[in-house]
Amino acid sequence: MMITIKKLKQVFIFFTLALLMCLQPACASKDCVYDDTYFKASRYSNNKLIEKLNYNKAENTAQIITRTGDLISIKHWACNHHGIHAVMLVGPYPSDDNLDIKKHFKTLSNIVLDKTEADIFNDFILKKDMPLKQKPVTLKIENDQYDEFYITYTSVNDSIILEIKVYKG
């Protein structure tokens, strides 16, 4: 019961933050360099890793509950820049289940990144040592195709928070 209340509390905080993240309206597409039709609900709705999808086309955002009960908030940019920012809340789980950061990042990348970005990302994390720490760890993925491509992760009580941000202009 304690875990359920804790989880509900986290869901509330997570989705409130996700909402605040996305208050600005999306650009009018006629003035945009990039095309936001690329960001479609079908991109997520056919993914077997996803249990629930809350998709907002007007804001180019999505909130997801995965099959394992983890939460993902996504902001997609397709106007002056093209890119994605995804935050994943994993857990709460017993601490041993949280240790495999790479496994959780792979789940996140399989849901939010396109093939090109996922290939770069998976190559990167394969070579990295990624111990879980209380303090946020940020790792930059060097690639001249992107203005920024980085990941951040940290542990909070019995949960971990993962973040991927990638964009180009």
Residue 10 C-alpha from the chain's centroid: 16
DSSP-derived 3-state class of residue 13: helix
Indicate which single residue of 11, 15, 27, 102 sits in contact with another protein (rule: CB under 8 A).
27
Residues 36-65 that bind another protein (CB under 8 A): 37-38
Is residue 156 close enough to count as binding another protein by CB under 8 A? no
Is residue 33 close enough to count as binding another protein by CB under 8 A? yes
Q: How far apart are CA 111 and CA 86, in angstroms?
A: 10
Angle of CA points 38, 61, 149, to nearest 5°: 75
Q: How far apart are CA 130 and CA 146, in angstroms?
A: 22
Supply the minimum distance, in Å, between the C-beta of residue 35 and another protein: 5
| Radius of gyration from C-alpha coordinates of the chain | 16
* DSSP at 147: S
4-12, 20-28, 123-131, 154-162 -> range binding another protein (CB under 8 A): 20-28
Residues 98-127 that bind another protein (CB under 8 A): 116
Yes or no: say if 160 and 101 are a contact pair by the CB < 8 Å rule: yes
48-56, 92-100, 119-127, 138-146 -> range binding another protein (CB under 8 A): 138-146
Binding interface with another protein (CB under 8 A): 21-25, 27, 29-30, 32-35, 37-38, 75, 77-83, 85, 116, 138, 144-145, 147-148, 150, 165, 167, 169
